A and B are shown apart, each in its own frame.
Chain A
Amino acid sequence: MTDATANTEETTIYDELPDAPPKKKLTLTWVGKLGVTVVVFWLVMVFVGPYIAPFHEADIIAYDSYMPILSTTEGEGFHLLGTDYIERDLFSRILWGARTTIGIAFTATLLAYLVGVSLGIAAAVAGGWVDVSLSRVNDAIISLPSIMLGLLAVNAFGSSIPTLIMTAGAIYAASVFRIARALGQDIMVMDFVEAARVRGESMRWIIFREVLPNAAMPLATDFGLRLVFVVLFISSLSFLGLGIQPPMADWGSMVRQNLDGLGYGSYAAVWPALAIATFTISINLIVDDISASSGGSLAKKMI
């Protein structure tokens, strides 16, 4: 930075000192890196899981239910995590389930973001009655418990993957709307937005060029968290038997179906629960690390 400040004409001997040290690139601590590793692992499994799984998710191996870990069945093969309540290979089902659970959650979160961000920013930029009406409708949606709303939707439209995605997307769009609107409002009062308005810029320019770029980072951080909520939401619906329908493998329903096994000393319910936990906690680790790192840069600015 100092080299360029030297170019100003009048500051010959004593340059203007820079306000802040040069901006640093985002660096993650080992905690964040661990999170990234786990998340990347699961994302790879979404694509390759079904191909490397030893069995199909619906394959019933006619031997024994609730087999312990590291057991082998003659003629069929090796069961890394044992079998579930109807003698299916648990390891294979977890690999298959990654595609269902993460795939659906990701699509639903994307949908929630598309709807929530566009309406939220629009409400912040337009203000007035647009803001008031959108916000009140949003308040109404957000005041309903999400699980109840989900149960209602699934009962009304029947349980299918598109219904699940639409339901989760619609429910979570409400909270995304709130965040996007709040972020948008903070940015709308900045002088550079006023300058753009006085210059006569269109609404589109203000939304896409002035407001959105400045809201992108916090929204991206929130995206990770929201994804976790959707995973848990879909898992809870599946746990109640209303989410993913058998024989499709889904982590939430796998926990529910194998819960009885705990009584017989089987860990079959623990493995899918662990899968949910590793994925969601890892996303949280990354999000925490990013916010700590950007919060740190704020502190560095004040040096």
Chain B
Amino acid sequence: MTELLEVRDLKIEAPQKDGPAIPIVKGVSFDVKAGEVVALIGESGSGKTTISLGSLGYTKPGLEFSGGSISLHGNDILSMSNNDLRSLRGQKVAYLAQSAAATFNPAITIGEQVTESAVLHGVMTQEEASERATELYHALELPDPELLGNRYPHQVSGGQLQRLMAAMALVGRPDLLVLDEPTTALDVTTQIEVLKAFKKVIQEEGSAAIYVTHDLAVVAQIADHIVVLYSGEVQEQGPVDQIINNPQHPYTKRLMAAAHSGPKPGMGDKLSGDHDKDVANIEVKDMTAGYGEIKNGKPAITVLRDINMSVKNGHVVGVIGESGCGKSTLARVIAGLLPPAQGEVILDGTTLKGSYKQRSKVDLQKVQFVYQMADTALNPKQLIGEILGRPVEMFEGLHGKKKREKVAELLRMVELPIEFENRYPAELSGGQKQRVNLARSLAAKPEIMLCDEVTSALDSIVGSNVVKLLKRLRDLTGVSFMFITHDLSTVAAFADEIVVLYAGRIVEQGPVDQVLSPPFHPYTRLLISSVPEMKIGWLEETMEKREMAVGIARGVEITAVGCPFYNRCPIAIDGTCNTKTPPVHEPVPGHQISCHHSLEEISAIESAPQQILHGFEKAAPDDDSVRA
């Protein structure tokens, strides 16, 4: 194989008006052979996106190339004129951004956007391009390929849009494709669907690719060669199986350690005696909630239905499910941010008022909500000291020196240096901001903290440090946690109990080890098998499983009757599952599964490979367009 792209000693820096330039990329070299997928892996700030854009001859504003060379087909990209670069970008190289939703223009049809670049560069005529696009829709297993081009971006799902972006990049038959974290923002189930399509199309098209990500398990599925980056320098590079199975560099080992090996029972700590109390701290009873005006106990849009759950004193309850299943809504109802339409929230035996406006100060103090995005949760114009000092002042009435001491104590608790009190949030890293966010909730001395995806926006290493911190805080303060996430592995390692939500209903709940071992609810099973494992060839193995075939091909439908998982369930019973609310089984006390099948049936189905896929033949792909 010949070298398609050669990057040699590439240096990129951010020039400063007052002082020496800040180096961003510090002499990176790697090659991409034709038809090969090279993964750039590292944390945010490691320069991986800068390098990938650099190989297209582009830097973001404020950066400049300061050394080294990049050659594509033997032509030096860095010395090319803008005009040459422009035609190169349209024809030889293509870029796939992280967020498809932000890439597509909502006012123009998909077809027009997918073919635009190829037609604009004169590579092909509109007819040829449209034909080629349709071919790609087939290859990417998109629904209704012949007519898809006439639709608008909002008419397809997130995963489909992500695949359409690949089509957009591939229309002009580029030699090199740059994919920037294309699956990071997706749910595990959607991620698989997109990964599978990408892998297939890259193989079929034979184009080379640079795949940028921080997720090693994803890389193991798709890459041939891995380049590990830290702070703008290559730490280690080599073929995928050498890096995955035999990492040499300490940083790679650290990355591997932070990446999980998939959720399994027994990963969590055993409940220690002093925080195992059987008294419910928060209880949710027969709760229904949603958005819009509430009429006769029913909101205009129902998001959660008949929720019954509890968080015991000092316990950690993980709430998992795909995006849109109502995880955050559940936490918002408990926090009083969204009054429920029916049912009640009980704190320490007394019913809480629906809205936070009617709750007493003590109740507000006891239940603390921790936001997902520290960026928007912390006021950018307040110093960390003020952000933490205010709740101390309000809830504990401390002022002056005592307040400062308390702020210092909080910073110590979240393992941040005391000097941070004089900084603004913008001067902190993502992980540090999240720690401040947690510290602000701790300042209220809560009984329960509702953590809404607090690790989702963080890299694996930073995220695992935050989980370690949460464990320490749990042991230190005895606070109960409701931990919302779509990352099963984190829950497996941190939670005592799990609640599995699907389309606004609880399909399974119970102690971690029970939920993560058979018998499974079919949805739990789908979720567990969708978590990428750090094993080469895992993707192919998994896709052969039957629950994948149905579960991945179809989307969530929110229904009022029957089992919510009906249309994606491999073992659904027509006429029963779609009409009757499933009964609740209790294999062991505290572990509940809602399913029409008996426990014996579920277990039997799990052990015996079954070929019958419920209604899969009728699963016309255009089902997807009628998603809620």
Contact = CB atoms under 8 A, between A and B. Distances in A.
Interface of B: 14, 16-17, 22, 24, 43-46, 50, 60-63, 230-231, 250-251, 254, 335-337, 356, 361, 364, 369, 371, 373, 376-382, 390-391, 394-395, 415-417, 419-420, 424, 426-433, 440, 444, 461-462, 465, 468
B337 A194 contact: yes
A271 B465 CA distance: 68
Given A4-B420, A22-B427, A209-B382, A299 B356 contact: no
A10 interface: yes
Given A8-B415, A191-B371, A192-B377, A300 B14 contact: yes
Contacts of A210: 379
A217 to B, nearest CB: 9
Contacts of B22: 21
B444 to A, nearest CB: 8
Interface in A16-48: 16-24, 27
Interface stretch (A75-83, A84-92, A146-154, A197-205): A197-205
B459 to A, nearest CB: 8
A62 interface: no
B371 A200 contact: no
Which 5 pairs of residues, A with B, have the shortest CB-CB distance?
A17-B45, A213-B381, A7-B417, A191-B377, A299-B61
A192 B379 contact: yes
Contact of A16 (B369, B382, B431): B431
Contacts, number: 116
A303 B431 contact: no
A1 interface: yes
Contacts of B230: 14
B231 A17 contact: yes
Given A192-B378, A213-B381, A303-B62, A18 B429 contact: yes
Interface in A97-111: none
A18 B378 CA distance: 17
Contacts of A21: 14, 22
Contact of B46 (A4, A17, A24): A17
A192 B376 contact: yes
Contacts of B369: 195, 198
Contacts of A7: 416-417
B426 A14 contact: no
A214 interface: yes
A213 B387 CA distance: 14
A5 interface: yes
Contacts of A192: 376-379
Given A4-B419, A4-B420, A8-B415, A195 B371 contact: yes
Given A17-B45, A17-B46, A303-B14, A200 B364 contact: yes
Nearest to B391: A199
A209 B416 CA distance: 25
5 contacts: A8-B432, A19-B428, A190-B376, A191-B376, A300-B14
